[in-house]
Homo-oligomer: A and B are copies of this chain.
Amino acid sequence: RIMRPDDANIAGNVHGGTILKMIEEAGAIISTRHCNSQAGEPCVAALARVERTDFLSPMCIGEVANVSAEITYTSRHSVEVQVNVMSENILTGAKKVTNKATLWYVPLSLKNVNKVVEVPPIQYARKEQEDEGKKRYEEQKLDRLETKQRNGDVILPVINPEPHTVGYSQSSLIHLVGPSDCTLLGFVHGGVTMKLMDEVAGIVAARHCKTNIVTASVDAINFHEKIKKGCVITISGRMTFTSNKSMEIEVFVDADPFVDEPRERYRAVSAFFTYVSLSKEGKPLPVPQLLTETEDEKRRFEEGKGRYLQTKAKRQAQMQQAAQQ
């Protein structure tokens, strides 16, 4: 579809969240279709995890987004989907890859939302494809367990914070979950959640560096708990790390089922977003260093630095590998 002014920031760059939402919609369609392809219990695929994804080049107002999706692996109870997004300037014909994302879906029964349905197996062209898929499946399963522990953390308010401290840019947003945010099962689409997370992370980044900012990448996101229609969700973001030219923001999603359920507020999702600051010409700008004050802030900064260096090393290894081929 054509990108509209509402999909973009003032500089005309489409929000990362808009792209994440399109990716998730494509993934949900293809995996729901696949899971219902054999005569079995009708089901709807729910997003369980998005692997780390980079925003390779910006998309602009007036460009057309082409989204393609393919199922690359199935386990007994989950589906791996690979989604590619290309931006196309229909005036010049120029096409660019803007995103490649890997998503994991779990099919939930339409009659009993707590029941996970069996996934029809796909055929692999080569045996190695299945083995590699299985490896990815095991890895993400492990990672999902790990991040579940990180999830107890809360963001406390700060009064009169200094510029460039964590408290200065931290932000939160509340959203009342409406019918159009939800799947047939009455739970929030993963893509809707990701769009709101990107919105908060973008506000944190802009508050910190007061320039035009764009999403550079999103770390793996795990969806631990479903969010029901009618909930109020609070999406909170705080900066955890800055390098010379990038900022890492941690985002939490908490759901408050305050109307008809006796349940307490719970943590539904958490993730790390990386942003860069751009000049009017679209060149990366230096980012003011984050001032850490408490022990926790210093620890999170070091952890962020670890993730940053790891990603950098991985990218360099890939580039060397590519150069050698």
Chain A interfacial positions (CB closer than 8 Å to B)? 1-2, 4-6, 9-10, 25-26, 28-29, 32-33, 36-37, 39, 42-44, 61-62, 64, 88, 90-93, 110, 156-157, 159, 163, 171-176, 178-180, 184, 199-200, 202-203, 206-207, 210-212, 229-230, 232, 256, 258-260, 262
Given that A91-B36, A199-B1 are known contacts, is A62 also in contact with B184, CB under 8 Å in the complex?
yes
A207 contact set on B, CB distance < 8 A: 90, 93, 232, 256, 258
Shortest CB-to-CB span from A61 to chain B, Å, is 7
Find A42's partner among B2, B91, B163 (CB 8 Å cutoff). B91
Q: How many copies does the complex hold?
A: 3
Contact of B258 with A206 in the complex, beta carbons under 8 Å:
yes
Contact of B5 with A178 in the complex, beta carbons under 8 Å:
yes
25 A/B residue pairs, CB under 8 Å, sorted by A: A1-B25, A5-B178, A5-B179, A5-B180, A6-B6, A9-B176, A10-B259, A29-B174, A33-B90, A33-B258, A42-B260, A43-B91, A44-B259, A90-B207, A93-B163, A156-B159, A172-B174, A173-B174, A174-B203, A176-B202, A206-B232, A206-B259, A207-B256, A210-B259, A212-B259
Contact of A259 with B92 in the complex, beta carbons under 8 Å:
no
Given that A4-B180, A10-B230, A176-B202 are known contacts, is A36 also in contact with B210, CB under 8 Å in the complex?
no
Name the residue of chain B whose CB is nearest to the CB of A168. B93
Starting from the known contacts A29-B64, A184-B229, 19 additional A-B residue pairs (CB-CB under 8 Å) come to A1-B173, A2-B29, A10-B230, A37-B93, A39-B262, A42-B259, A43-B91, A62-B184, A90-B207, A91-B110, A91-B211, A92-B210, A156-B157, A172-B172, A173-B173, A174-B203, A206-B232, A207-B232, A210-B259
A258 contact set on B, CB distance < 8 A: 32-33, 36, 206-207, 210
Given that A1-B173, A199-B2, A199-B176 are known contacts, is A110 also in contact with B259, CB under 8 Å in the complex?
yes
Given that A1-B173, A61-B10, A62-B10 are known contacts, is A32 also in contact with B90, CB under 8 Å in the complex?
yes
A88 vs B36: C-alpha distance when bound (angstroms)? 12
Shortest CB-to-CB span from A20 to chain B, Å, is 15
Contact of A206 with B91 in the complex, beta carbons under 8 Å:
yes
Contact of A36 with B92 in the complex, beta carbons under 8 Å:
yes
Shortest CB-to-CB span from A228 to chain B, Å, is 10
Given that A6-B5, A33-B93, A93-B36 are known contacts, is A176 also in contact with B203, CB under 8 Å in the complex?
yes
